[in-house]
């Protein structure tokens, strides 16, 4: 019956199905408690933006290290106590959890390759070289900037201009000097409305720009 609680909490199911769940809930404190825990989630689900569901899932940072550290921490226990069932079980659980995550990660749906649109970039400063691709997302255009010669430590702002020429912030980056930097900048201007982008230095000078 616990498996039914998800759709029940969301208000799904036929009247008969919902009545059956209600009848069970009347006599089952465990399911009532579980339903009470699910109910706050239903409000939060209403705030989920479906447009963001296609973002690639990434394993939590440091998962691999955490698993290895846990196994390493369990290994001395195992030696000291001989074959401690608890330590073995704990290590096995960690391993199975990691394997499960790995399998889920490998089996994730591979998204279609993004349509990259190479664009010309004009630079206004001799030290700077830059090129860029733009990516049309449902939420706005992304600028994938590749450049070198941006002054190390200086903050650069990127703006995308809309059809009226209004600059819309697309993010900032720090220059890294002669080394190549690759920076993805996201704006809320849709690709068909975007007329260009500009890279502006800390003094407000446009150091690179592109017409879209
Ligand atoms: Zn129950």
Residues 93, 123 within the same domain: no
Residues 119, 207 within the same domain: yes
Query: Which of 169, 161, 173 is CA-nearest to residue 197?
Result: 161
Per-residue pLDDT of the chain (212 residues; tens, 9 = 90+): 888 898 898 888 999 999 999 999 999 999 999 999 988 888 787 777 777 776 666 777 788 888 888 888 877 665 555 556 666 666 666 666 666 666 666 666 666 677 889 999 999 988 899 999 999 999 999 999 999 999 999 999 999 999 999 999 999 999 999 999 999 999 999 999 999 999 999 999 999 999 99
Pair 210, 194: CB distance under 8 Å: no
Residues 123, 201 within the same domain: yes
C-alpha 94 to ligand 1 mean position (Å): 29
Residues 5, 45 within the same domain: yes
Total domains in the fold of the chain: 3
Residues 205, 127 within the same domain: yes
C-alpha 16 to ligand 1 mean position (Å): 17
What CATH number did the domain enclosing 51 receive?
Answer: 1.10.10
What CATH number did the domain enclosing 136 receive?
Answer: 2.60.40.770
Residues 125, 197 within the same domain: yes
136 burial (CB, 10 Å; 0-12 / 13-18 / 19+) is middle
Residues 93, 167 within the same domain: no
Domain extent, residue 10, equals 1-56
Residues 121, 177 within the same domain: yes
C-alpha 29 to ligand 1 mean position (Å): 7
C-alpha 69 to ligand 1 mean position (Å): 38
C-alpha 3 to ligand 1 mean position (Å): 10
Residues 16, 71 within the same domain: no
Residues 9, 100 within the same domain: no
- For the sheet containing 196-200, what is the strand order? 122-123, 206-211, 196-200, 155-161, 167-174
């Amino acid at each position: 019956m616990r498996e039914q609680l998800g759709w029940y909490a969301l208000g799904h199911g036929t009247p008969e199905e919902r009545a059956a769940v209600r009848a069970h809930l009347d006599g089952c404190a465990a399911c009532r408690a579980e339903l009470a825990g699910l109910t706050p989630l239903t409000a939060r689900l209403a705030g989920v933006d479906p447009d963001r569901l296609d973002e690639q899932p990434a394993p939590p940072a440091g998962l691999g290290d955490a698993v290895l550290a846990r196994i390493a921490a369990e290994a001395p226990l195992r030696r000291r106590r001989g074959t401690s069932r608890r330590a073995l079980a704990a290590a096995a659980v960690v391993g199975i959890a990691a394997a499960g995550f790995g399998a889920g990660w490998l089996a994730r749906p591979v998204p279609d390759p993004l349509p990259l649109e190479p664009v010309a970039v004009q630079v206004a400063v001799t030290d700077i070289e830059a090129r860029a691709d733009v990516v049309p997302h449902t939420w706005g255009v992304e600028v994938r900037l590749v450049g070198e010669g941006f002054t190390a430590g200086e903050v650069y702002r990127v703006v995308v201009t809309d059809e009226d020429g209004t600059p819309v912030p697309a993010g900032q980056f720090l220059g890294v000097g002669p080394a190549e930097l690759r920076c993805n900048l996201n704006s809320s201007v849709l690709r068909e409305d975007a007329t260009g982008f500009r890279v502006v230095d800390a003094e407000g000078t446009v150091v690179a720009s592109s017409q879209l």
